[in-house]
């Protein structure tokens, strides 16, 4: 009984060992054309990516050189099936893996070939076209190798790098500047003057230079190569240090270079302000001549031509403008912004200059922020 049990355990162990055996593979002769990496470097990249998949026991580079030297085999031009089969037989591996990295103008084409040493035929040939980014060749090799071995690729990687003859859908950005913002702004025009006026004249007894604090949200709707098209939302509170609560929202269409960090944006801005209706006395439109409509009180009975009581109609043209005695209303404007994102490791530091304006005045300012981007 014990003998039978021992035999069964032994057979089961042998079966598991056989089942778990991983095929062996060697990498040689990766052809390169028009790219910044050498064939040896390309071969090393391919060896790294094959090893990372865990699909094969990959023959080490030095072990492979030993086999080639012992058998006096020159693999500098070993790209065909016959040569690859010979090298694979001498190395004693199950599979030979080779390929090519070629620069074809606007795109980089990577080819991966898996050859079965026993049959001398290719099991799989995978070809993938990418946008021309020399610095991302290893990622491109990873995508192509996964395709050749039947491993699902990350959709984000495909959207970022795979070459399409049309703009990619739902792209992923390289720089993400979601995060806090702070800055300073100068308020000019009529708004700047009203801010400085005393409260008795509808002003705010404030200076036209104010701090801003807020948050930026953004999303990318187009990403191709080093170019990103963005929708950005910025929420700010202005003038807190002067006991003012002036919230604003800007919605920008932005364009950014992921290569150097420069960006430009433009779009509408919305601000909550106290607005009052009034008029200007005299012929000159100035802050000294500003009056509220409620201040017009000319009794009609002082006018001999008016037989009824009450007040005369205000003959002055009516205006709406910012006034501390008014009611809170939503005001619209337009904003232009220009900036650059600086990097320090994983830290992004966006710096932007902006101009926001409407018919009542303008804001000119500088803002900066920070966020941390972690790469997978």
When pLDDT is cut at 50, 70 and 90, the band that residue 78 belongs to is: confident
When pLDDT is cut at 50, 70 and 90, the band that residue 357 belongs to is: very high
Q: Which CATH number fits domain 22-161: 3.90.1170.50, 3.40.50.10610, 3.30.70.270, 3.30.2320.20?
A: 3.40.50.10610
Q: Where is pLDDT greater, at 220 or 17?
A: 220
**pLDDT (0 to 100) of residue 225:** 66
- Is residue 76's pLDDT more than 90? no
CA torsion, ordered 285, 290, 292, 298, to nearest 10 deg = -90
From 21-35, 170-184, 331-345, the region with the lowest mean pLDDT: 170-184
The answer for residues whose C-beta is within 8 angstroms of residue 256's C-beta and 6 or more apart is 173, 175, 227, 228, 230, 262, 263, 341
Q: Can you tell me whether residue 369 is helix, strand or coil?
A: strand
**pLDDT (0 to 100) of residue 14:** 46
Threshold 0.85, pTM exceeds: no
- Is residue 24's pLDDT more than 50? yes
> Cα separation of 58 and 3, whole Å?
39
- Is residue 303's pLDDT more than 60? no
For the domain spanning 179-372, the CATH number is 2.40.160
- Is residue 131's pLDDT more than 80? yes
- Is residue 155's pLDDT more than 50? yes
**pLDDT (0 to 100) of residue 70:** 85
> Cα separation of 273 and 247, whole Å?
8
- Is residue 312's pLDDT more than 80? no
**pLDDT (0 to 100) of residue 279:** 87
**pLDDT (0 to 100) of residue 219:** 85
When pLDDT is cut at 50, 70 and 90, the band that residue 172 belongs to is: very low
> Tokens representing 239?
């003038």
When pLDDT is cut at 50, 70 and 90, the band that residue 16 belongs to is: very low
Q: Rounded mean pLDDT of the chain?
A: 83
Q: Where is pLDDT greater, at 171 or 317?
A: 317
**pLDDT (0 to 100) of residue 175:** 61
**pLDDT (0 to 100) of residue 307:** 52
Backbone angles phi, psi at 313, to 5 degrees: -65, 145
Mean pLDDT of 175-200: 87
Q: Where are the domains of the chain?
A: 22-161, 179-372
Mean pLDDT of 124-153: 90
DSSP bridge partners of 21: none
Mean pLDDT of 73-92: 86
**pLDDT (0 to 100) of residue 301:** 59
Cα–Cα nearest to 147, from 122, 171, 124, 170 = 124
Q: What percent of the chain has pLDDT over 90?
A: 40
Mean pLDDT of 17-46: 84
From 25-29, 52-56, 71-75, 90-94, the region with the lowest mean pLDDT: 71-75
Q: Can you tell me whether residue 306 is helix, strand or coil?
A: coil
DSSP E strand stretches across 19-106: 24-33, 57-58, 95-103
**pLDDT (0 to 100) of residue 167:** 45
Q: How many residues does the chain have?
A: 376
> Cα separation of 373 and 1, whole Å?
64
| Strands 319-322 and 290-292, sheet pairing | unpaired
**pLDDT (0 to 100) of residue 134:** 81
> Cα separation of 101 and 41, whole Å?
11
CA dist 370 → 7, 215, 220, 236, 286 (Å): 67, 10, 18, 15, 42
From 54-68, 172-186, 305-319, 325-339, the region with the lowest mean pLDDT: 305-319
Question: Could you tell me if 293 and 279 are in contact, meaning their C-beta atoms sit under 8 angstroms apart?
Answer: yes
Mean pLDDT of 326-340: 93
């Amino acid at each position: 009984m014990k003998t039978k049990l021992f035999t069964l355990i032994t057979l089961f162990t042998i079966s598991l060992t056989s089942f778990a055996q991983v095929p062996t593979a060697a990498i040689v002769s990766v052809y390169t054309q028009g790219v910044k990496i050498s064939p040896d470097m390309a071969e090393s990249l391919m060896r790294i990516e094959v090893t990372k998949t865990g699909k094969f026991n990959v023959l080490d580079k030095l072990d492979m050189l030993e086999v080639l030297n012992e058998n006096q085999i020159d693999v500098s031009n070993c790209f065909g099936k016959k040569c690859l089969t010979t090298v694979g037989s001498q190395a004693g591996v199950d599979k030979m893996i080779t390929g090519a990295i070629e620069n074809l103008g606007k795109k980089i084409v990577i080819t991966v070939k898996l050859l079965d040493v026993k049959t001398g035929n290719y099991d799989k040939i995978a070809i993938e076209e990418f946008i021309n980014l020399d610095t991302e060749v290893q990622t491109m090799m990873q995508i192509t190798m996964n395709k050749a071995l039947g491993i699902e690729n990350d959709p984000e990687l495909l959207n970022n790098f795979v070459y399409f003859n049309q703009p990619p859908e739902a792209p992923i950005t390289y720089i993400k500047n979601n995060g806090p913002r702070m800055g300073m702004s100068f308020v000019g025009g009529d708004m700047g003057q009203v801010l400085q006026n005393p409260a008795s004249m509808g002003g705010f007894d404030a200076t036209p230079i104010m701090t801003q604090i807020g948050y930026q949200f953004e999303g990318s709707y187009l990403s191709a190569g080093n170019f990103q098209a963005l929708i950005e939302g910025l929420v700010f509170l202005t003038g807190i240090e002067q006991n003012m609560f002036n919230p604003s929202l800007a919605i920008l269409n932005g364009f950014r270079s992921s290569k150097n960090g420069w960006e430009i944006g433009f779009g509408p801005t919305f601000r909550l302000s106290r607005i009052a209706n009034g008029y200007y006395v005299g012929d000159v439109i100035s802050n000294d001549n500003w009056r509220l409509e409620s201040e017009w009180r000319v009794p009609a009975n002082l006018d001999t031509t008016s037989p009824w009581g009450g007040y005369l109609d205000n003959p002055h043209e009516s205006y709406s403008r910012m006034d501390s005695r008014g009611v809170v209303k939503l005001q619209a404007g337009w904003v232009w912004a220009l900036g650059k994102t600086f990097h320090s490791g994983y830290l992004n530091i966006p710096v932007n200059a902006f101009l926001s304006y409407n018919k009542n005045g303008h804001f000119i300012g500088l803002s900066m922020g920070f966020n941390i981007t972690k790469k997978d």
